[in-house]
Amino acid sequence: MIVFVVGTDTGVGKTVATAALAARSGPGTVVVKPAQTGVGPDEPDIAVVRRLAGCEVVEFTRLADPLAPDTAARLRGAAIPAVDEHAAGIRDLARTRGTVIVEGAGGVLVRLDAAGGTIRDLAADLAADHPVRVRVVTRLGLGTLNHTELTVGALRSRGLEPQGLVLGSVPAELGLAERCNRTELPRVTGVPVIGAIPEGAGALAPELFRERAGSWSTIS
Protein backbone atom coordinates (compact mmCIF):
# COMPACT_ATOMS: atom_id res chain seq x y z
CA MET A 1 0.00 0.00 0.00
CA ILE A 2 1.13 3.55 -0.76
CA VAL A 3 -0.05 6.40 1.50
CA PHE A 4 0.46 10.05 0.57
CA VAL A 5 0.62 12.65 3.33
CA VAL A 6 -0.04 15.98 1.64
CA GLY A 7 -0.63 19.44 3.05
CA THR A 8 -2.78 22.45 2.41
CA ASP A 9 0.37 24.58 2.69
CA THR A 10 3.89 24.54 4.06
CA GLY A 11 4.32 24.38 7.83
CA VAL A 12 0.99 22.67 8.56
CA GLY A 13 2.52 19.66 10.31
CA LYS A 14 3.03 17.13 7.49
CA THR A 15 6.31 15.81 8.85
CA VAL A 16 5.05 15.07 12.36
CA ALA A 17 1.84 13.60 10.92
CA THR A 18 3.96 11.41 8.63
CA ALA A 19 6.06 10.24 11.57
CA ALA A 20 2.94 9.44 13.60
CA LEU A 21 1.51 7.38 10.74
CA ALA A 22 4.83 5.57 10.27
CA ALA A 23 5.05 4.80 13.98
CA ARG A 24 1.65 3.08 13.80
CA SER A 25 2.32 1.25 10.54
CA GLY A 26 4.75 -1.28 11.98
CA PRO A 27 7.68 -3.20 10.48
CA GLY A 28 8.21 -3.05 6.74
CA THR A 29 7.26 0.63 6.52
CA VAL A 30 9.41 3.08 4.58
CA VAL A 31 8.89 6.84 4.35
CA VAL A 32 9.82 8.63 1.12
CA LYS A 33 10.47 12.35 0.73
CA PRO A 34 10.61 12.96 -3.05
CA ALA A 35 12.03 16.47 -2.66
CA GLN A 36 13.49 18.25 0.36
CA THR A 37 14.31 21.94 0.12
CA GLY A 38 15.66 24.47 2.58
CA VAL A 39 18.32 22.14 3.95
CA GLY A 40 20.35 24.09 6.48
CA PRO A 41 21.46 23.78 10.09
CA ASP A 42 18.06 22.46 11.21
CA GLU A 43 17.19 18.76 11.11
CA PRO A 44 15.69 17.92 7.67
CA ASP A 45 12.16 16.50 7.52
CA ILE A 46 13.21 12.97 6.68
CA ALA A 47 15.60 12.87 9.65
CA VAL A 48 12.79 14.06 11.94
CA VAL A 49 10.63 11.17 10.72
CA ARG A 50 13.43 8.64 11.25
CA ARG A 51 14.13 9.93 14.76
CA LEU A 52 10.50 10.02 15.88
CA ALA A 53 9.18 6.89 14.17
CA GLY A 54 12.33 4.78 14.02
CA CYS A 55 11.53 3.59 10.50
CA GLU A 56 13.44 3.36 7.23
CA VAL A 57 13.50 6.61 5.25
CA VAL A 58 14.46 7.53 1.69
CA GLU A 59 15.05 10.99 0.20
CA PHE A 60 15.22 11.33 -3.59
CA THR A 61 16.22 14.99 -4.03
CA ARG A 62 17.78 17.56 -1.70
CA LEU A 63 18.07 21.27 -2.49
CA ALA A 64 19.61 23.95 -0.30
CA ASP A 65 17.26 26.90 -0.75
CA PRO A 66 13.91 27.12 1.12
CA LEU A 67 11.80 27.34 -2.04
CA ALA A 68 9.52 25.15 -4.14
CA PRO A 69 11.65 22.31 -5.61
CA ASP A 70 11.53 23.55 -9.21
CA THR A 71 12.32 27.12 -8.13
CA ALA A 72 15.19 25.99 -5.91
CA ALA A 73 16.62 23.90 -8.76
CA ARG A 74 16.35 26.70 -11.36
CA LEU A 75 17.97 29.16 -8.96
CA ARG A 76 21.07 26.96 -8.79
CA GLY A 77 20.96 25.59 -12.32
CA ALA A 78 20.50 22.10 -10.89
CA ALA A 79 18.82 19.17 -12.59
CA ILE A 80 16.05 17.42 -10.63
CA PRO A 81 14.19 14.16 -11.33
CA ALA A 82 10.89 14.20 -13.19
CA VAL A 83 7.73 13.00 -11.45
CA ASP A 84 7.75 9.76 -13.43
CA GLU A 85 11.25 9.03 -12.08
CA HIS A 86 9.97 9.55 -8.52
CA ALA A 87 7.07 7.22 -9.35
CA ALA A 88 9.48 4.54 -10.58
CA GLY A 89 11.50 4.76 -7.38
CA ILE A 90 8.39 4.45 -5.22
CA ARG A 91 7.16 1.46 -7.25
CA ASP A 92 10.49 -0.25 -6.64
CA LEU A 93 10.13 0.27 -2.90
CA ALA A 94 6.49 -0.91 -2.93
CA ARG A 95 7.56 -4.29 -4.33
CA THR A 96 9.41 -5.18 -1.13
CA ARG A 97 7.86 -3.01 1.61
CA GLY A 98 4.50 -3.50 3.31
CA THR A 99 3.72 0.22 3.42
CA VAL A 100 5.28 3.14 1.57
CA ILE A 101 4.43 6.57 3.02
CA VAL A 102 5.15 9.55 0.76
CA GLU A 103 5.46 12.99 2.34
CA GLY A 104 4.74 15.93 0.05
CA ALA A 105 6.51 19.27 -0.16
CA GLY A 106 4.35 22.31 0.56
CA GLY A 107 0.85 22.10 -0.94
CA VAL A 108 -0.45 19.65 -3.54
CA LEU A 109 0.24 21.95 -6.49
CA VAL A 110 3.82 22.85 -5.57
CA ARG A 111 6.00 21.82 -8.52
CA LEU A 112 8.33 18.90 -7.88
CA ASP A 113 10.05 18.98 -11.27
CA ALA A 114 10.97 21.29 -14.12
CA ALA A 115 8.00 20.17 -16.24
CA GLY A 116 5.37 21.27 -13.75
CA GLY A 117 4.73 17.86 -12.15
CA THR A 118 3.29 17.99 -8.62
CA ILE A 119 2.71 15.64 -5.69
CA ARG A 120 -0.87 15.34 -7.00
CA ASP A 121 0.49 14.10 -10.33
CA LEU A 122 2.77 11.65 -8.55
CA ALA A 123 -0.13 10.20 -6.55
CA ALA A 124 -2.30 9.92 -9.68
CA ASP A 125 0.51 8.16 -11.56
CA LEU A 126 0.95 5.56 -8.83
CA ALA A 127 -2.81 5.10 -8.38
CA ALA A 128 -2.95 3.69 -11.91
CA ASP A 129 -1.47 0.39 -10.71
CA HIS A 130 -1.25 0.51 -6.90
CA PRO A 131 -3.71 1.02 -4.04
CA VAL A 132 -3.10 4.64 -3.04
CA ARG A 133 -4.51 6.47 -0.03
CA VAL A 134 -4.21 10.23 0.45
CA ARG A 135 -4.34 12.03 3.79
CA VAL A 136 -4.56 15.81 3.89
CA VAL A 137 -2.85 17.63 6.76
CA THR A 138 -4.38 20.99 7.52
CA ARG A 139 -4.37 23.77 10.08
CA LEU A 140 -7.27 24.20 12.45
CA GLY A 141 -7.13 28.01 12.70
CA LEU A 142 -8.60 30.85 10.69
CA GLY A 143 -8.23 30.50 6.91
CA THR A 144 -8.16 26.72 6.88
CA LEU A 145 -11.59 26.21 5.32
CA ASN A 146 -10.59 27.88 2.06
CA HIS A 147 -7.18 26.18 1.85
CA THR A 148 -8.54 22.76 2.70
CA GLU A 149 -11.48 22.91 0.30
CA LEU A 150 -9.17 24.02 -2.52
CA THR A 151 -6.75 21.17 -1.74
CA VAL A 152 -9.49 18.54 -1.66
CA GLY A 153 -10.92 19.89 -4.92
CA ALA A 154 -7.50 19.74 -6.59
CA LEU A 155 -7.09 16.10 -5.56
CA ARG A 156 -10.57 15.13 -6.73
CA SER A 157 -9.92 16.73 -10.11
CA ARG A 158 -7.35 13.95 -10.69
CA GLY A 159 -9.60 11.19 -9.38
CA LEU A 160 -7.98 11.10 -5.93
CA GLU A 161 -10.50 10.95 -3.10
CA PRO A 162 -8.84 11.85 0.23
CA GLN A 163 -9.07 9.19 2.90
CA GLY A 164 -9.30 11.82 5.61
CA LEU A 165 -8.13 15.09 7.09
CA VAL A 166 -5.44 15.26 9.77
CA LEU A 167 -5.33 18.33 11.98
CA GLY A 168 -1.73 19.38 12.48
CA SER A 169 -0.40 21.03 15.65
CA VAL A 170 -3.68 21.36 17.57
CA PRO A 171 -3.32 23.71 20.56
CA ALA A 172 -4.43 22.59 24.01
CA GLU A 173 -6.77 25.57 24.29
CA LEU A 174 -9.00 26.16 21.28
CA GLY A 175 -10.26 29.59 20.25
CA LEU A 176 -13.55 30.29 18.53
CA ALA A 177 -12.18 29.65 15.01
CA GLU A 178 -10.57 26.35 16.03
CA ARG A 179 -13.72 25.11 17.76
CA CYS A 180 -15.92 25.97 14.77
CA ASN A 181 -13.49 24.68 12.15
CA ARG A 182 -13.33 21.26 13.80
CA THR A 183 -16.97 20.88 12.74
CA GLU A 184 -16.84 22.93 9.54
CA LEU A 185 -13.89 21.18 7.88
CA PRO A 186 -15.68 17.86 7.24
CA ARG A 187 -18.88 19.70 6.37
CA VAL A 188 -17.40 21.88 3.62
CA THR A 189 -15.05 19.24 2.18
CA GLY A 190 -17.08 16.05 2.60
CA VAL A 191 -13.92 14.43 4.04
CA PRO A 192 -13.83 13.11 7.62
CA VAL A 193 -11.31 14.24 10.21
CA ILE A 194 -9.32 11.08 10.98
CA GLY A 195 -6.51 12.48 13.09
CA ALA A 196 -5.36 15.34 15.30
CA ILE A 197 -1.72 15.90 16.20
CA PRO A 198 -1.26 17.89 19.43
CA GLU A 199 0.90 20.99 19.38
CA GLY A 200 4.45 20.15 20.46
CA ALA A 201 4.22 16.46 19.54
CA GLY A 202 7.39 16.70 17.48
CA ALA A 203 9.36 17.71 20.58
CA LEU A 204 8.48 14.52 22.46
CA ALA A 205 11.12 11.89 23.13
CA PRO A 206 10.91 9.23 20.40
CA GLU A 207 9.76 6.48 22.77
CA LEU A 208 6.94 8.67 24.11
CA PHE A 209 6.04 9.84 20.60
CA ARG A 210 5.64 6.25 19.39
CA GLU A 211 3.65 5.31 22.47
CA ARG A 212 1.17 8.16 21.97
CA ALA A 213 0.95 8.14 18.18
CA GLY A 214 -1.86 5.59 18.14
CA SER A 215 -4.13 7.89 20.13
CA TRP A 216 -3.88 10.69 17.54
CA SER A 217 -5.77 8.88 14.80
CA THR A 218 -9.17 7.28 14.51
CA ILE A 219 -7.98 4.80 11.84
CA SER A 220 -4.80 2.84 11.13
Q: Are 81 and 61 in contact (CB under 8 A)?
A: yes
Active-site residue among 21, 23, 33, 99? 33
* Neighbour tally for 131: CB within 10 Å: 10
* Catalytic residue check, 214: no
Extract the annotated binding site for substrate.
37
Q: Are 18 and 52 in contact (CB under 8 A)?
A: no
Extract the annotated binding site.
11-16, 37, 45, 103-106, 168-169, 198-200
d(CA 142, CA 171): 13
Beta bridge partners of 103: 5
**Is 109 buried (19+), middle (13-18) or exposed (0-12) by CB count in 10 A?**
middle
d(CA 169, CA 175): 14
Extract the annotated binding site for Mg(2+).
15, 45, 103
* Neighbour tally for 66: CB within 10 Å: 12
**Checking DSSP bridges between strand 29-36 and strand 193-198, what pairing results, if any?**
unpaired
**Checking DSSP bridges between strand 56-62 and strand 132-138, what pairing results, if any?**
unpaired
d(CA 8, CA 137): 6
How far is Cα of residue 35 from the mean position of the Cα atoms in its chain? 12
Active site amino acids: 33
